[in-house]
């Protein structure tokens, strides 16, 4: 335990995940130190912590001995502007990546979220319609496997097609397959102009924007019980092109053109202590899916152009109401050709919910987990099917 004692400190009162306290905390300075830490921690249950913005997502771990904090694994290693790529350490705050000169990492993550955490959750925001998710923008990755082996996949070339794309395997794995220490992202130029078109309009009107081929960067909807539904469109490009497209869309929606997004733009529709659900469905079914969600008492917002919505259910004293609402949402998502996943819920409610629902390929996921983490040490029980 000598090496482990050197690399860890006793956990504090705030060092918990889903209410489960850790015994130890470590904040490695680089990939080599992180690999030494993981080798020394064999037999311990481990959870990775970045900015903590999504640490309450998913079920709590079955057990927790060690939190590996990535706050010291931070910094931009390289920004190759000519190649439109950046290499960053996993603990780098997204705020730093939102300020690259002349270029952007087009992921709408909270400023305090980290690059590694954003990849681990495959996070995205309104602009996923144009730019995609973390999985689409990640082109290279360095990961330490649970046995302490340092592995790399991809590279610093956007069209890198050699070998298996293991970066996509780690993306969205919620830290169950290893510790991400470095990421290589594809960048995009900062647009010369951008505006929003905002309107009070039903989600059905989103079809007008999609059919019109206006090349919107984002097409968001917002609805809540007792309130008029809203649409907001983000347009990016040249000043003249943005102006012309915005004028046409404002006419179609009877809306207004604004330099600023609506206050709900990119903000999760739930507060602490409420139930947050991610819903997906085909584009044609978004209005029906949204209507069902609002009918359960949920506030709903998300991308009408990508078919990804988020629902926030109000906190209730009992667990029956939340369970019934989630069942209704899940059934509506299945009818829409998608699925529903409970991302977060308060203690006492979370334990009564099937947070993931039916999952295709669960047997394959279990085999992958067995291959990469046969001891089930990394984030045990936090992923699909208790993986």
Task: Return per-residue pLDDT of the chain as tens, 387 residues.
Answer: 567 989 999 999 999 998 999 999 999 999 999 999 999 999 999 999 999 999 999 899 999 999 999 999 999 999 999 999 999 999 999 999 988 999 999 999 999 999 999 999 999 999 999 999 999 999 999 999 999 999 999 887 766 555 678 899 999 999 999 999 999 999 999 999 999 999 999 999 999 999 998 999 999 999 999 999 999 999 999 999 999 999 999 999 999 999 999 999 999 999 988 999 999 999 999 999 999 999 999 999 999 999 999 999 986 655 568 889 999 999 999 999 999 999 999 888 888 888 998 888 888 999 999 999 999 999 999 988 788
User: How would you label 198-209 residue by residue, b for 16+ Cβ within 10 Å and e otherwise?
Assistant: bbebbbbbbeeb
167 and 212 assigned to the same domain: no
Same domain for 331 and 358, yes or no, is yes
- Do 58 and 83 fall into the same domain? yes
How much is the pLDDT for 163? 65
Residue 382 covered by a domain = no
Q: Which residue range forms the structural domain that includes residue 366? A: 268-374
| Residue 348 pLDDT | 83
Domain membership of residue 383 (yes or no) is no
Instruction: Say whether both 364 and 304 belong to one domain.
Output: yes
Q: Does 121 lie in the same domain as 210?
A: no
Query: Do 47 and 63 touch, CB atoms closer than 8 A?
Result: no
Give the model's pLDDT for residue 3. 74
Is residue 170 assigned to a domain?
Answer: yes
In angstroms, rounded to a whole number, what is the distance separating the alpha carbons of residues 327 and 322?
Answer: 9
Query: Last residue of some domain: 143, 169, 188?
Result: 188
239 and 216 housed in the same domain: yes
pLDDT of residue 34: 97
Residue 94 has φ and ψ, to the nearest 5°, of -65, -25
Name residues whose C-beta falls within 8 Å of residue 80's C-beta, 6 or more positions apart in sequence: 86, 87, 156
- Give the CA angle between residues 10, 16, 21 to the nearest 5°: 65
Boundary-marking domain end, from 234, 251, 267: 267
Euclidean distance between the first and the last CA atom of the chain, given in angstroms as a whole number: 27
The pair of structure tokens assigned to 370 is: 């067995």
CATH number for the domain that contains residue 85:
3.30.465.10
Q: In Å, what is the CA distance from 107 to each residue of 25, 58, 156, 208, 236?
A: 29, 21, 19, 26, 15
Looking at the structure, tell me whether residues 294 and 256 fall in a common domain. Answer: no
CB 58 within 8 A of CB 174: yes
The predicted pLDDT at position 146 comes to 97
Is residue 266 a contact partner of residue 108, using CB atoms and an 8 Å limit?
yes
Q: How far is 72 from 56, CA to CA, in rounded Å?
A: 22
Determine contact, residues 303/126, Cβ cutoff 8 Å.
yes
Alpha helix locations (H) across the chain?
Answer: 2-7, 31-40, 94-97, 115-120, 128-131, 134-137, 166-170, 206-211, 239-253, 286-295, 320-335, 362-372
Tell which of 233, 267, 301 closes a domain: 267
Report the predicted TM-score, pTM, of the whole model to 2 decimal places.
Answer: 0.93
Q: How many domains in the chain?
A: 3
Residue 352: predicted pLDDT: 84
Q: Rounded to an integer, what distance in angstroms lies between the CA atom of residue 324 and that of residue 338?
A: 19
Q: Are residues 4 and 100 in the same domain?
A: yes
If asked whether residues 181 and 112 sit together in one domain, one would say yes
**Does residue 161 lie in a domain region?**
yes
Please give the pLDDT value at position 358.
85
Q: At what angle do helices 286-295 and 320-335 cross, to 10 degrees?
A: 170
């Amino acid at each position: 335990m000598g090496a482990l004692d050197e690399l860890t400190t006793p956990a504090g009162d705030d060092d918990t995940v889903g209410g489960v306290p850790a015994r130890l905390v470590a904040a490695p300075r680089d990939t080599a130190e992180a690999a030494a830490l993981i080798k020394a921690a064999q037999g311990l249950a481990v959870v990775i912590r970045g900015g903590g913005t999504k640490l309450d997502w998913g079920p709590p771990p079955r057990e927790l001995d060690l939190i590996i904090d990535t706050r010291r694994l931070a910094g931009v290693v390289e920004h190759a502007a000519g190649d439109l790529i950046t290499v960053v350490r996993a603990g780098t705050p997204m705020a730093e990546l939102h300020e690259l000169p002349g270029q952007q990492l087009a992921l709408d993550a909270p400023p305090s979220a980290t690059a590694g955490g954003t990849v681990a959750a495959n996070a995205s925001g309104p602009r996923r319609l144009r730019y995609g998710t973390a999985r689409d923008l990640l082109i290279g990755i360095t990961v330490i496997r649970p046995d302490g082996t340092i592995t790399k996949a991809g590279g610093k070339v956007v069209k890198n097609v050699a070998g298996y794309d293991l970066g996509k395997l780690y993306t969205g794995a919620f830290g169950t397959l290893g510790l991400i220490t470095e990421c290589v992202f594809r960048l995009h130029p900062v647009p010369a102009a951008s505006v929003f078109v905002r309107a009070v309009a039903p989600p059905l009107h989103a079809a007008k924007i999609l059919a019109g081929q206006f090349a919107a960067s984002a097409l968001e909807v917002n609805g809540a019980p007792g309130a008029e539904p809203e649409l907001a469109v983000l347009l990016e490009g040249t000043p003249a092109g943005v102006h012309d497209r915005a004028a046409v869309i404002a006419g179609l929606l009877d809306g207004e053109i604004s330099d600023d997004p609506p206050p709900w733009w990119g903000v999760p529709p739930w507060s602490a202590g409420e139930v947050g659900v991610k819903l997906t469905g085909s584009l044609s079914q978004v209005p029906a899916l949204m209507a069902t969600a609002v009918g359960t008492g949920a506030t709903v917002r998300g991308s009408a152009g990508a078919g990804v919505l988020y629902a926030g259910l109000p906190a209730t004293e009992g667990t029956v109401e939340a369970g019934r609402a989630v069942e209704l949402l899940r059934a509506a998502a299945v009818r829409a050709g998608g699925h529903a996943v409970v991302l977060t819920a308060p203690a006492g409610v979370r334990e009564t919910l099937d947070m993931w629902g039916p999952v295709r390929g669960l047997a394959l996921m279990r085999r992958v987990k067995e291959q990469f983490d046969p001891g089930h040490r990394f984030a045990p029980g936090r992923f699909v099917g208790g993986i």
